[in-house]
Structure 1
Amino acid sequence: RLQDPSLLMCLRDTSSAEEVEQELARAFGELGDNVLLLAIIPDQNNNAWQHPIRATNKALCSRIGIAVQHCKVNKFKSPPPGYWSNLLDKLNLKALGTNYYPLCEVPGGGLQPGLQLLRACPTLLLGCDVHHAAPGSSRPSYGALVGTVDKFFSCHYTEVRAMTSRQECIPVDVMESMVREQLKAFHGYNEGISPERIICYRDGVAHNQFEEVHEVEIHAIERACHAIGQGYQPQIVFIVEQKGGGARFFTNENGRVPGQQMGNQPPLTVVDTVVVDESTFSFHLTPHHGIKGTSRGNLYSVLRNDPNLSSDDLQRFTSQLCHLFQRCKKIVSKVAPNYNAHLAAEMWGLKEERESFSDTASVSSDAAACDVHE
């Protein structure tokens, strides 16, 4: 719940990193942990997101622990339709609020098809992704695991680990450590209740890595469960999400959908025959609207299905997860857990790169100063 601002800061375009850090430290000292920074940055040559104040704020807020939201000054002067609503959604999230949650129950009793998986038993929903540095860089890769801990599947707990550069499959010990922390967080948040079912969506894995993922990452989940308690064996569902999948689908002339350009298929289209590998449990899903250009869906492959969930249940459940991304009012192109994991891994990688660059720049400037002084 947002209240009137308790402290206002005014930073000039020419404010140095030291001035920004001093102001943020003062705010943190006066208000403690209850700090949410709304930074309005100038729109210079339509490249405001590269402004040094924004980069400094991101690095400092990550280090100090302050939530920050950046805005362009021209959007405040003439906001486009829906701007304030979208901005408040992001501010609400950073104030530890909830924007959307799944409506599992239907009017008159009963559960929504697909979403009944969330109410059938205590369920831990995981999203997993790995972020790599730019091509040619030897910086480490970062694996992120995001899990839900509340019954509304809107409160998330995040674990991020550094890995060997360009390594896609998360090592057993790293994955086991992250899953163990997720289980502890779920257990603590739900007053001693452990999940009876773990549903994990994995992003960014190629077909030729399925066997490795099964032997390493799924095995790591089993090891983490065994480490929690003797005899603890929750049901595991492991699904790999692949962008595009090498297939494009179009409607014929008689099947054109109003508002869909280029003959795109309607949202929430599922294809699970003919163009899928018959030896695996897989399906194509295009959950979002084709606003511009050709819609590209995702290919989902089920590598493990302990509770023997039907294809209809998993397809409905997967499509409904694309409605739950908290930062967007529209249906997104991938499941929300993977979207959150992608953002967590990417932001952590950028944070480490900024801090590394800042440390290198400080050392270089100190060395240069010594040379001049001598």
Structure 2
Amino acid sequence: MSTYDRRNRSPREDDDDSPDAKRSRNFTHDNNHPFAEQQGRPLPPPANPVGRVKIEPGIGQEAQQLQLQQQAPREPQTGCTKRPDQGGRVGRPITINTNFFPMELKPTYRTIHHYHIDISPEVPPRRNRELWQELQRHSIMTDAGTLVAYDGRHSVFSPKQLPAVHENGGAVTIKIELAGQKQEIAFKIMHVAEVDMEALVNFLRTGQYTQDCTEAIQALNVALTHKPYSNMITVGRSVFTPDGAQDLRGGVEMWHGIYHTVRLGQQKLFVNVDKTAGAFVKGGSAIELMRSIAPRWNPSQPLDRRDREAIELVLKGCFFRVTHRGKQFKRKYKMTQLSRSGADDTWFDHTTNDGGSRKVSVEQYYSHTYNSKLNYPRAPCLGVPGRNSTVAYFPAELCYFESGQPYKKKLNEEQTSAMLRAASMKPDARIRKIAQSIQTLDFRNNQFLQAFGMNISDRMSNVPARILPAPRIEFARGVKAEPRQGSWELNASQQYLGGVTLRSWGIIVFENEGRLQRFKVEGFVRRLVQVLSLIYPEIKAFAETSQSGLMTQCALTSKIEKANDAYCRLLGMKILAKLGGTVNRLEENSLGIIERGRTLVVGADVTHAAPGETDRPSIASVVALVDDCGFRHIGRIQRQPSQGVGAVEVIEGLPALMMDLIASYKQIMKHHPQRILFYRDGVSESQFPEILRTEVKAIKIACQQIDPKYKPAITFVVVKKRHNTRFFPTQDRDRSGNCVSGTVVDSMITHPTEFDFYLQSHAGLQGTSRCAQYCVLYDENRFTSDDLQQLTFNLCHVYSRCSKATSIVPAVQYAHLLAYRARCYRDVGGETDRPESMPIANELKNTMFFV
């Protein structure tokens, strides 16, 4: 598994230029560690032994099997196409800053030892580091004479051998009885590999890859993150603190966090540091937390059904403690449900002292057993799994939730908007926040970094970049517009390039006859938008999946009431595109191989259900360009099995989808495409080898099934927006303070040998813009850096929904829109075990109905 740039799913908290910027991906949740006092140093052995300790020899054969697994050959690097040249030359050279911090590697020891550790009995991942603290007190760690880094799961790295492991044949089991408990924990440690750190140094210098390069990056990342992961709340690859937490309402708050990871550059190593944001359940008493979720509720009264469901949605799965057993009682409970009645009316069978049984209420039990008189007996109880498949209930007022628990559910629209506003930072403010993060991480005083020979600068890197020339936009009668800072004005002189006749049309007004009462608390316009957002999916589902097929264009009342020429022109662009017309094109010689004809440009994406919607399938969408001017696109969608977090997101039915699109291209253009330029979104770098092996092959299979002699040249490019690379201008900047549209970087911080580049094609709207990273996995069209960069940038200027350059190529933007549209359709629900095409009316299949 490559560690060069693992996929990061931190929220899109800043840059909302793209249609899906408000998707409520709070973050990917790996584990949750409470704050610890230990500061990343091995603790000295206690004066008196803490609990009982046993050492048992390990099984040498098992250690050898693990070593063989580690030494199994892997894909060299990521399998991407090699860079075809020394980088691009087109555009005006500039210098920018980026949040990559240079790192010198001067290993104290040439070899780093990799160990595999198993903890039994198995515990939730969030407890692993707590138990690791106990193991650090043992002589097996202190005798090593060095600092040992742990990844929180199964990998341990040490600059020196752990003597006890090697003295026992490469594996040892250590049993520790936890202090104050009767539970015995067994740590099984096995030596699996020796990592040659010189291999990484040689790779940076010569480009010569060996297996040790991947292992070395992994070791450095574990050493880099060991201390902050041990001391702070960890979610995914980010650490969080409650400092400056901001209320998102509904029992949820936003925390600021820090993302940091080792990255390979061209002949250099860097640490990528960025600020992130995450949603957490608010801590505090259960009663107050429940009131923040259901503000109308009076704790002296029972909960109604709606409020109970809202509270249960937020708190189900969260851990809480109890107060009635004193401060020394540290046990945590996981809430699974709320009682339907209050503590005064929730009954259970209580075993009496004489062995009998009688029914008592929760209120009576706590009054008799703990002498606890409840102030809110009608408030509900928190339920946890009990014995013999029963539920144990705790009165809410005796419970409190600890802060720092990630909120794993989908944020509502109000919370998503609030989080985007709170997390958004202009470039200069983000630079200051990253500088604060560097102080928090405190690289200079991190003994683990020193032990592994890592010296990290606290200054951002200056990176050479270029500003690509923007193409001119051409309308009818030779009228042209020149983009400035990624956008251009629409005016009456700009007639659409290719009009169409609308033979019949109608307007339906969806509006309540009343005034949407409830005292107008949320305002007329806001309520109206809420009502329409029930209506919109129904309109689209009926119109686009019915047999006749109806083209529709929705508009909000608030927009119509404030309509102006600019809004009507944008609406007109969408209507014309849906009907098959052409708004504009780029001036001649702007689209290279596309303009020369016989080129199929494809955008593809796989989207998954929101957090908590486990029974919803994934949606694969594939969109293709079917003209020579970059405007007209058609799309296909299918349901496919949900892959789950971290799984490979392969489009399983890609051959059939591509055959359909190629056939439609031939029907429209009167010939087969001879070149295919495929832009694929939603793929992490660790998945590159699998995507390269399966999806490129699927495209070739589709062509072969059309005709065994049909072999178009294929270029396959992955588009990545979910990364933590940020650009900060030092001179040229747009109105938002970001780097200007057309900024491209293909040196210094890009891959040492593979064909990739960063392109910021759009102008900033708010916060710090997020550039797109383009990684070429496969290239039979023999693109140069200049050709592919300029073509990609120019394509971003032909988008039917606005007069701005997009942040990624339109075919991928359209794939997002089409996948989002598919979730409006009635048959999208339910699981599926195989790819299934989704119904679109035949009249609409080859139109841009999805814009």
Q: TM-score normalised to the size of structure 2?
A: 0.35
Q: Tell me which residue corresponds to 2:680.
A: 202
Deviation at 1:165, TM superposition (A): 0.9
| Structure-1 separation of matches of 2:717 and 2:568 | 36
SS at match of 1:296: coil
Deviation at 1:120, TM superposition (A): 3.9
Q: Tell me which residue corresponds to 2:654.
A: 175
Choose between structure 1 and 2 for higher RCO, CA contacts under 8 A separated by at least 6 residues. Answer: 2
Tell me whether 1:221 sits opposite 2:705 in the alignment.
Answer: no
Deviations 1:34-56 (A, max 9, x none): xxxxxxxx835363464443343
| Matched letter for residue 695 of structure 2 | E
Task: Indicate conservation of the 8 Å contact 1:235/1:306, yes or no.
Answer: yes
Q: Tell me which residue corresponds to 2:820.
A: 346
Deviation at 1:316, TM superposition (A): 0.3
Matches within 5 A, 1:46-61: 47-48=529-530, 50-61=532-543
Deviation at 1:271, TM superposition (A): 0.3
Task: Indicate conservation of the 8 Å contact 2:703/2:711, yes or no.
Answer: yes
The 3 A distance-change label for structure 1 pair 217 and 288 is same
Tell me whether 1:45 sits opposite 2:527 in the alignment.
Answer: yes
Deviation at 1:131, TM superposition (A): 1.7
Task: Indicate conservation of the 8 Å contact 1:244/1:297, yes or no.
Answer: no
Matches within 5 A, 1:75-154: 75-79=559-563, 82-103=566-587, 105=588, 111-112=589-590, 115-137=591-613, 138-154=615-631
| Structure-2 separation of matches of 1:129 and 1:95 | 24
Deviations 1:334-354 (A, max 9, x none): 110000111111211232467
Equivalent in 147, 151, 160 of residue 637 of structure 2 = 160
The 3 A distance-change label for structure 1 pair 78 and 261 is closer
Moved more, 320-329 or 71-80: 71-80
SS at match of 1:325: coil
More strand by share: 2
SS at match of 2:727: coil
Deviation at 1:67, TM superposition (A): 1.6
Task: Indicate conservation of the 8 Å contact 1:270/1:284, yes or no.
Answer: yes
| Structure-1 separation of matches of 2:707 and 2:790 | 33
Deviations 1:265-319 (A, max 9, x none): 1111000001111131000000011232111101100001112110000000111
Q: Which runs of 4+ in 1 moved over 4 A?
A: 2-12, 48-51, 353-356
Equivalenced residues, count: 316
Tell me whether 1:260 sits opposite 2:735 in the alignment.
Answer: yes
Deviation at 1:7, TM superposition (A): 4.7
Moved more, 281-290 or 342-351: 342-351
Q: Tell me which residue corresponds to 2:721.
A: 243
Task: Indicate conservation of the 8 Å contact 2:606/2:682, yes or no.
Answer: yes
Task: Indicate conservation of the 8 Å contact 2:762/2:805, yes or no.
Answer: yes
Moved more, 276-285 or 198-207: 276-285
| Matched letter for residue 270 of structure 1 | V
More helix by share: 1
Task: Indicate conservation of the 8 Å contact 2:617/2:828, yes or no.
Answer: no
Deviation at 1:221, TM superposition (A): 0.5
SS at match of 1:82: helix
Tell me whether 1:293 sits opposite 2:738 in the alignment.
Answer: no
Task: Indicate conservation of the 8 Å contact 2:596/2:628, yes or no.
Answer: no
Q: Tell me which residue corresponds to 2:710.
A: 232
Equivalent in 768, 782, 786 of residue 312 of structure 1 = 786
Task: Indicate conservation of the 8 Å contact 1:239/1:303, yes or no.
Answer: yes
| Structure-2 separation of matches of 1:159 and 1:334 | 19
Deviation at 1:5, TM superposition (A): 6.2
| Structure-1 separation of matches of 2:505 and 2:746 | 55
Deviations 1:311-334 (A, max 9, x none): 000000111111111111111111
The 3 A distance-change label for structure 1 pair 3 and 187 is closer
The 3 A distance-change label for structure 1 pair 116 and 290 is same
SS at match of 1:303: strand
| Structure-2 separation of matches of 1:158 and 1:6 | 24
Matches within 5 A, 1:356-371: none
Q: Tell me which residue corresponds to 1:189.
A: 668
| Structure-2 separation of matches of 1:179 and 1:246 | 32
| Structure-1 separation of matches of 2:503 and 2:666 | 36
Deviations 1:209-266 (A, max 9, x none): 00000000001001111111122111000000000532111122xx143x4334x211
| Matched letter for residue 157 of structure 1 | I
| Structure-1 separation of matches of 2:695 and 2:581 | 32
Identity of aligned residues (%): 29
Q: Tell me which residue corresponds to 1:32.
A: none
| Structure-1 separation of matches of 2:650 and 2:729 | 39
Deviation at 1:148, TM superposition (A): 1.7
Moved more, 329-338 or 128-137: 128-137
Task: Indicate conservation of the 8 Å contact 1:282/1:302, yes or no.
Answer: yes
SS at match of 1:284: strand
| Matched letter for residue 576 of structure 2 | N
Task: Indicate conservation of the 8 Å contact 1:179/1:224, yes or no.
Answer: yes
| Structure-1 separation of matches of 2:586 and 2:771 | 22
| Structure-2 separation of matches of 1:72 and 1:2 | 25
Q: Tell me which residue corresponds to 1:18.
A: none
| Structure-2 separation of matches of 1:206 and 1:160 | 22
SS at match of 1:198: strand
Structure 2 spans left out of the alignment, 5+ residues: 1-499, 515-523, 831-851
Q: Tell me which residue corresponds to 1:332.
A: 806
| Structure-1 separation of matches of 2:722 and 2:607 | 19
Q: Tell me which residue corresponds to 1:363.
A: none
Give the RMSD, CA atoms, in angstroms. 2.4
| Matched letter for residue 716 of structure 2 | F
The 3 A distance-change label for structure 1 pair 204 and 189 is same
SS at match of 1:151: coil
Deviations 1:158-189 (A, max 9, x none): 111111113653345x0111111111112222
The 3 A distance-change label for structure 1 pair 11 and 199 is closer
| Matched letter for residue 57 of structure 1 | I
Task: Indicate conservation of the 8 Å contact 1:244/1:299, yes or no.
Answer: no
| Matched letter for residue 635 of structure 2 | T
| Matched letter for residue 665 of structure 2 | F
| Structure-1 separation of matches of 2:803 and 2:718 | 25
The 3 A distance-change label for structure 1 pair 353 and 228 is closer
Deviation at 1:156, TM superposition (A): 2.0
Deviation at 1:122, TM superposition (A): 0.9
| Structure-2 separation of matches of 1:100 and 1:49 | 35
Q: Rg larger in 1 or in 2?
A: 2
SS at match of 1:58: helix
| Structure-1 separation of matches of 2:740 and 2:505 | 47
Deviation at 1:74, TM superposition (A): 2.8
| Structure-1 separation of matches of 2:585 and 2:596 | 17
SS at match of 1:308: coil
Task: Indicate conservation of the 8 Å contact 2:700/2:711, yes or no.
Answer: yes
Deviations 1:94-118 (A, max 9, x none): 2222223233x2xxxxx33xx2121
Q: Tell me which residue corresponds to 2:274.
A: none
Task: Indicate conservation of the 8 Å contact 1:131/1:349, yes or no.
Answer: no
